[in-house]
Amino acid sequence: MPMVRCNFSAHHAFTFKRENKRPIECSHSLHRFKWIAYAICMSKEVPNSITPAVFQKTMLLLAEKRTAMTTLRTGAAISLIPLSILSFLVAMMDKLELQADPVLLGFTLACNAVLAVFGLYLIRRGLVRMRFHDRKLDELKAQYPELRELFYQ
């Protein structure tokens, strides 16, 4: 069973030192995975059934899930842009005299509709991908019960 020694610094960066292998550096940007690595370090041993490949697969799935959350957040921001444009148009309708130019108003409304549909597409894509990654993580947790201890309940 390989032993793992961890060195923690003041900057929340830490190093894994494995027997007869190069150290693995982890930076502060991996704070989401810090707790998983911390749990493994505190156990002083890597559990037999969790291989490095499984651990890397778990970290990859968590990173992909975080990317899906970013897609969801971007979709929410993009879908709110037409609301602000429409509220500006309603407030400035008299000063801009848009009643006289229906082509410009129609073009603006069409662009707003496209932005709203694109935002809703990104929201849906983010939610579907998050569910997919959650299912894959649940499969890994069912296959390797030691992983269940590393995640929040």
Number of H-type helices and E-type strands within the chain: 5, 3
Distance CA 49, CA 4 (A): 15
d(CA 65, CA 95): 46
Q: How many domains does the chain have?
A: 2
Residue bearing tokens 């979709």: 75
- Let me know: does 14 contact 37? Beta carbons within 8 Å: yes
Looking at the fold, whether 40 and 55 belong to one and the same domain comes out as: no
The pLDDT assigned to 146 comes to 85
Question: Based on the domain organization, do 27 and 83 belong to the same domain?
Answer: no
Tens digits of residue pLDDT in 77-105? 999 999 999 898 888 877 877 666 778 88
Give the Cα separation of 81 and 28 in Å (integer): 33
- DSSP assignments along 28-56, one per residue: GGGHHHHHHHHHHHHHSB--TT--HHHHH
Which residues, 6 or more positions from 40, have their beta carbon under 8 angstroms from its beta carbon? Answer: 4, 46, 55, 150
Which pLDDT value is given to residue 149? 80
**Quick one: pLDDT at residue 48?**
57
Mean pLDDT, residues 21-49 taken together:
54
Q: How far is CA 4 from CA 21, 42, 50, 54, 89, in A?
A: 11, 9, 13, 16, 62
Are 5 and 31 members of one domain?
A: yes
- Neighbour count for residue 148 (Cβ, 10 Å): 12
Cα Rg of the chain (Å, integer): 24
Examine the domain organization and report whether 143 and 123 are in the same domain: yes
Domain hosting residue 75, numbered range: 49-153
Q: Average pLDDT of 102-125?
A: 92
For residue 28, the model assigns a pLDDT of 45
Domain match, 122 and 86 both: yes
Same domain, yes or no: 96 and 36: no
